[in-house]
Chain A
Amino acid sequence: ILNVEQSPQSLHVQEGDSTNFTCSFPSSNFYALHWYRWETAKSPEALFVMTLNGDEKKKGRISATLNTKEGYSYLYIKGSQPEDSATYLCAFSAGSARQLTFGSGTQLTVLP
């Protein structure tokens, strides 16, 4: 059983604040790390897929880093906006690329 841990479980920030979350995963037999955003009443939407140690990816105000040797990834949001409010999920695959194991997510609320 692969354990993917996300912290914090929930987070409230003020509009304009920058914030970050953590995803921890087993470092052995790493294949890929995914980040998704899941807004209420919508389907999860892919943000990033990362495979290489040291990878950094950016999409607008959101960026992510990956450390496969120590088994963690950070997701950063710069200048949070109310529309960033969502649950952010990470998912990890080891060995078999087909099977993605999800964490419980970080629920972000951005207050106006």
Chain B
Amino acid sequence: ETGVTQTPRHLVMGMTNKKSLKCEQHLGHNAMYWYKQSAKKPLELMFVYSLEERVENNSVPSRFSPECPNSSHLFLHLHTLQPEDSALYLCASRISSNWDNSPLHFGNGTRLTVT
């Protein structure tokens, strides 16, 4: 059983829809991440929240909007997506007080299809 839970597991949405991906961690971590996995590409960092500070990849389009209301919950709000946004979206968490030895703990991901 993973300590990082993502919902939904699968999502199909049209380009005009608005939807949100949810991530929840029960590990007491205080840094949370969104990664995107497109076919045959490496995991791409989208956003990091650490101690209420957000770091983002400048190449992520504004149609992706993250929200981190507290250290246990992370959302990714989606609106007017494009078919090329279809991918596996992975959430991860880690302990920010011990970066040196702190690995990422991943959820099972949300498989997103944009039609």
Interface residue ranges, A against B (CB under 8 Å): 4, 31-32, 34, 36, 42-46, 49, 51, 89, 91, 96-105
Could you show 11 A-B contacts with beta carbons less than 8 Å apart?
A: A36-B104, A43-B106, A44-B104, A49-B102, A51-B100, A91-B104, A98-B31, A99-B45, A99-B48, A102-B44, A104-B42
Closest CB of chain A to B38's CB: distance in Å? 11
Contact A96 B55 (CB under 8 A): yes
How far apart sit A39 and B9, CA to CA, in the bound complex (Å)?
17
Contact with A along B71-115 (1 / 0, CB 8 A): 000000000000000000010000010011111111111000000
- B interface, size bucket: 20 to 34
How far apart sit A97 and B97, CA to CA, in the bound complex (Å)?
11
User: Which residues from chain A contact B44 at a C-beta distance below 8 Å?
Assistant: 102
Closest CB of chain A to B7's CB: distance in Å? 14
**CB nearest to B102 among chain A residues:** A49
Contact B42 A100 (CB under 8 A): no
Question: A34 with B104: in contact, given A43-B90, A43-B109 (CB under 8 Å)?
Answer: yes
User: Residue B50 at the A interface, CB < 8 A?
Assistant: yes
